[in-house]
């Protein structure tokens, strides 16, 4: 039975995987980054091009980016869906006299990481290694925010040695039951 890797072996393995991933991503004809909500893509193009020379086609499930008459830099099915009405692209001048097509994609599902921009991408990233940026409670949808606030409350209660919200609910139910049945003896009742 193989033993699990030591922390230093795991660290070395993670560093090697990260270096390989960085090298693979550098081979793509574009650069991309993401947050939990959106993607930013930069496709370098010649400095003499204008917006009318660029072809960008965005649908809910597909993306194509090309200089007209040339092989597309990106052309395929998106890894996940996007909100097309919230997406945009611009042609921007960058240092060294070049330009880049800058693309903003708004994710439909704001709770998942993408391993690639398009499904036919030659290289993918390991989303399990992503360290998300700190988010604010106000950024979360109502249901998720409520769940996170409840978890935070319960954690604070446990740290102070007080009952969690679930335990408080059980105790409240027992009090109501006791009030409804004063004839019963609850002196030896235990909550679990």
Flag whether pLDDT at 32 surpasses 70. yes
d(CA 67, CA 53): 6
Flag whether pLDDT at 148 surpasses 90. no
Judge residue 115's burial from the number of C-beta atoms within 10 Å of its C-beta, 0-12 exposed, 13-18 middle, 19 or more buried.
middle
Task: Kindly report the number of other CB atoms within 10 A of residue 105's CB atom.
Answer: 25
The mean pLDDT of the chain is 86
Judged by DSSP in three states, 30 sits in coil
Pick the more confident residue, 135 or 166: 166
pTM of the predicted structure, to 2 decimals? 0.64
**Contact 90/82 with Cβ under 8 angstroms?**
no
48: which residues sit within 8 A by CB, 6+ positions away? none
């Amino acid at each position: 039975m193989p033993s699990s890797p030591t922390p230093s072996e795991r660290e070395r393995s993670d560093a090697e995987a990260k270096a390989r991933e960085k090298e693979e991503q550098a081979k793509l004809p574009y650069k991309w980054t993401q947050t939990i909500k959106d993607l930013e893509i930069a496709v370098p193009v010649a400095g003499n091009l204008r917006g009318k020379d660029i072809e960008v086609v965005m649908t809910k499930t597909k993306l194509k980016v090309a200089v007209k008459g040339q092989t597309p830099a990106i052309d395929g099915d998106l890894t996940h869906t996007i909100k097309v009405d919230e997406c945009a692209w611009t042609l921007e001048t960058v240092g060294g006299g070049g330009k880049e097509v800058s693309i903003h994609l708004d994710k439909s599902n704001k709770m998942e990481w993408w391993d690639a921009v398009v499904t036919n991408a030659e290289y993918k990233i390991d989303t399990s290694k992503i360290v998300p940026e700190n988010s604010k409670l106000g950024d979360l949808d109502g249901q998720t925010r409520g769940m996170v606030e409840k978890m935070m409350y319960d954690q604070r209660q446990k740290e102070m040695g007080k009952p969690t919200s679930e335990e408080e609910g059980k105790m409240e139910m027992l009090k109501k039951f006791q009030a409804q049945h004063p004839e019963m003896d609850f002196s030896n009742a235990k909550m679990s």
